[in-house]
Structure 1
């Protein structure tokens, strides 16, 4: 009896020692990968605890996904050391509690639309960019849509400037958030410079807009799309659209698959719906999804992109959907 008890204690100590060494190595590797540095030992200890809690959550979720109990997987990405409270404070979509003062255009679901659309296949989508710690998702979503639709129209992909919107769009609030429909209004009235002429710097600076270097886009009107059917028609017939999204912790850690996890109460982030499709699960049931482009860099998700469950207004994705028309 005494021997068995001693063996149990020894085994427990061995497991704990192994676990500690394992986490030490994983923590060090993760910090190096994402260039994480903390100002004090106390801060690092706090972040380490959050990181370990996230590790357990991700492992448990992925075990469920491996058994077919979830449609998506998670990863220990650059957000593994932040708390739910910090996610809530990172909101970069300023809705002011109401729809933007722009017209709404309902396409409905048009007949004869393809089952699969992915504008990356047309070479009209820039790589996933990274907004950094600036709450400028609204600028990235707006610019990404304009880049793609301009390429669809002119067959030339040009990277445009998010920094111009951050610095010069006085209706939106720079790194404190904004709304794509307002940013489209700014671009309609002012044009937009190329990214190489006005580079992104993750902070607001004095406006350095140069009219002689701006592209005039000849937008005739900009408008909201009221529902997912209108979004499908617009994406299929014209190109990507900017949308709102209610980001919670699950989406922060998304890795692959069709996201159907928890959402925040209200839209707090802006992304791009740049395609859609349908997959069949193991039971043969069809799973419709959106293809979205995010602004958290290529290390998040599937090289900066993701699939999100469609036809259920997942995480309020039809909220604040914004599009525009070119002058013919």
Structure 2
């Protein structure tokens, strides 16, 4: 009997010793990684390889500066959004905006062609009748997030994004269309050096349609046009330019996803989630697709946008940006240059 009691006491004592050890271990802060170690982990996570130690050293310094910038913004407090070290963490904001944006606004945009001159028809719904939240992903009208890579053809991805949504709404079928065909064949744009969505819509109409993504895959560079070798999967009858203003954009987005321009800044390069209400560039330089709107948990109204910077950016490739900002064109001018195609 005494042996059983002693054994029980030993087990109880051992249990408390182990519990105390675990508590003390958990209480100790884990060793903080150095910036160099964080860079190595980031390289491994994103598959980043440098040509030599010189380039690695240069990129490390940029990585370090970007990390400081991100931490300074996040520590500011009371922000409705956050920034993070995504795949763009080792490039400067100048490099990023030069390679990963690419919206060029044509002079003709101020005088729309007859194809886009049809009067914008406001929905019969009043503000009270329109849904308080709308997400075209829930209706299956949004394809997977894509990545334009180091090619300034955001305009092609924006145009295709609204076209894919329009096609789903019109036919009930979701299909991916070819950004590469627009990149190769739209003569009034500049390939990887920029372009505009309505020029892409002009091409689609005049060409008799556009191919499926699987028939004309994205390569991230401009090549010789191969439209004549392909079969068009969708045609459009026209496109609609949306009047400037968040009210008009709201009316348009209730109908379908809409191609829009945005004045993207360094903050947007590292956007990692939340409702964005930060800084903007001094001009519109990027194109995305507006796929909905809503109100966040803090009561802030937002626009829901689909980007073309891959899924490591933002909220799995999507973002929320403040709505009803007060400026007629919206924050970062997102309601200034909007358009969408009409399926034939």
For this structure pair, what is the TM-score category when the shorter chain's length is used for normalisation?
0.7 to 0.9
Which of 217, 240, 249 is equivalent to 1:222?
Answer: 240
Give 3-state SS (helix, strand or coil) of 2:36's partner: helix
The Cα shift of 1:233 comes to 0.7
Aligned CA RMSD, in angstroms, stands at 2.0
**Structure ID, larger Rg:** 2
Equivalent-residue separation in structure 2 for 1:75 and 1:181 (angstroms):
33
Which position in structure 1 is the counterpart of 2:83?
74
TM alignment of 1:1-328, pairs within 5 A = 22-65=34-77, 69-90=78-99, 91-96=101-106, 99-102=109-112, 103=116, 105-107=119-121, 110-111=125-126, 112-190=129-207, 191-210=209-228, 213-236=231-254, 238-281=255-298, 286-312=299-325, 313-327=330-344
The Cα shift of 1:53 comes to 1.7
Unaligned runs of 5+ in 2: 1-30
The Cα shift of 1:210 comes to 3.5
Give 3-state SS (helix, strand or coil) of 2:109's partner: coil
- Output the TM-score relative to the length of structure 1: 0.86
Equivalent-residue separation in structure 2 for 1:159 and 1:305 (angstroms):
17
Retained in 2: the 8 A contact 1:185–1:222? no
Equivalent-residue separation in structure 2 for 1:322 and 1:172 (angstroms):
16
The Cα shift of 1:174 comes to 0.8
Q: In the comparison of the two structures, how many residue pairs are matched?
A: 301
Equivalent-residue separation in structure 1 for 2:313 and 2:136 (angstroms):
20
Unaligned runs of 5+ in 1: 1-17
Change in 2 beyond 3 A, CA 1:256/1:221 = closer
The Cα shift of 1:230 comes to 0.8
Could you report, residue by residue, the CA deviation over 1:235-260 in whole angstroms, capped at 9, with x for unpaired residues?
11x21100001111100100010011
Change in 2 beyond 3 A, CA 1:113/1:52 = same
Equivalent-residue separation in structure 2 for 1:145 and 1:311 (angstroms):
22
Give 3-state SS (helix, strand or coil) of 2:296's partner: strand
Could you report, residue by residue, the CA deviation over 1:94-121 in whole angstroms, capped at 9, with x for unpaired residues?
1146735424655558401111000000
Could you report, residue by residue, the CA deviation over 1:197-235 in whole angstroms, capped at 9, with x for unpaired residues?
000000001111136611242424432432211110111
Give 3-state SS (helix, strand or coil) of 1:193's partner: coil
